Each structure stands twice: as C-alpha cells, then as structure tokens.
C-alpha cells in the first residue's frame, strides 16, 4: 500500500524528499516496524501529465542507506525549469501532473509502490546564476 504525498516543486530550484521504509509492525502498530532492507533493490519514479499521459520528468531515486531502508527522490534545477506551472484553480485546469515511486528487487519478483500523488509546480522568481 502506498502513501499519498502531493509535493510542491519550485521551478529554478532543486527538489528532494527522503523516505525511510519500515516493515509492518508485528503488534498491530503499537511499536514501529524495523527498517526494510533495500539491499539489491532499485527505485524508479516518473512524473507524468496524467496516469497514462506523457512523461514530463524522471526524478532520480537513490538508495542512501540500504540496511536502514532509506532512499532519496530528487529532481534537478534543469528538470524543474522544464515543468509547466500548474493551475491554482479548484479543480485545476489542466489537472496536476501525477507521479509515483516504486522499488523492485533484482529479479522483479517484489515490486512495491511507496508513494504517489499530484505534483504542484510553482513558478520560480529567482533564476540562479553561477
């Protein structure tokens, strides 16, 4: 079962989120589960115009601590600058882009959707100049 998170991504800036994946609690949630071992797992993420729409961006998924169940999902300034600003109307027109984050083991016998949601893109005021 995946969690829902609707990130706000700024154009002209980087974006990242760090996730800690846990095994289910053995006592119904009274104590937290142990870290999910991400050894031999990889992750993927896509931001699309709609579920079956075109790919707008492919964020990087990096496992930063396999034994601790920690991974990072990130986008670059270049990727975010290419995204179109989304509508603030309710409901938005056109609809917000959608994304999900998946992990899979080496032989693809275990594939899990960790996170999903709508992406809100805000315009960037400052354009970074080196």
Q: Identify the domain containing residue 115 by its residue range.
A: 3-122
Provide the pLDDT for residue 1: 65
Provide the pLDDT for residue 102: 98
Q: Answer whether residue 128 is part of any domain.
A: no
Q: Are 95 and 38 in contact (CB under 8 A)?
A: no
Provide the pLDDT for residue 2: 84
Q: What percent of the chain is helix, strand and coil (3-state, nearest 5)?
A: 5, 40, 55
Q: Answer whether residue 55 is part of any domain.
A: yes
**Predicted confidence (pLDDT) at residue 30 exceeds the cutoff of 90:** no
Provide the pLDDT for residue 5: 96
pLDDT tens by residue, 85-118: 987 777 777 789 999 999 999 999 999 999 999 9
Backbone angles phi, psi at 4, to 5 degrees: -110, 130
Q: Answer whether residue 127 is part of any domain.
A: no
Domain count, the chain: 1
CATH number of the domain within which 10 lies: 2.60.40.10
The pTM (predicted TM-score) of the whole model is 0.89
pLDDT tens by residue, 45-78: 999 999 999 999 999 999 999 999 999 999 999 9
The Cα–Cα gap between 47 and 74 comes to 12
Backbone angles phi, psi at 74, to 5 degrees: -145, 155
The per-residue DSSP string of 96-109 comes to: PPEEEEEEEETTSS
């Amino acid at each position: 079962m995946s969690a829902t998170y609707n990130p706000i991504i700024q154009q002209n800036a980087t974006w990242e989120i760090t996730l800690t994946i846990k095994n289910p609690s053995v006592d119904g949630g009274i104590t937290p589960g142990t870290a999910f071992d991400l050894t031999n797992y990889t992750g993927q993420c896509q931001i699309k115009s709609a579920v079956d729409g075109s790919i707008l961006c492919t964020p990087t998924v990096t496992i930063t601590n396999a034994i601790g169940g920690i991974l990072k999902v990130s986008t670059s300034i270049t990727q975010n600058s290419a995204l179109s600003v989304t509508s603030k109307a309710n409901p938005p027109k056109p609809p917000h882009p959608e994304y999900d984050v998946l992990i899979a083991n080496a032989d693809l016998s275990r594939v899990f959707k960790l996170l999903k949601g709508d992406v809100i893109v805000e315009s960037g005021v400052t354009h970074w100049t080196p």
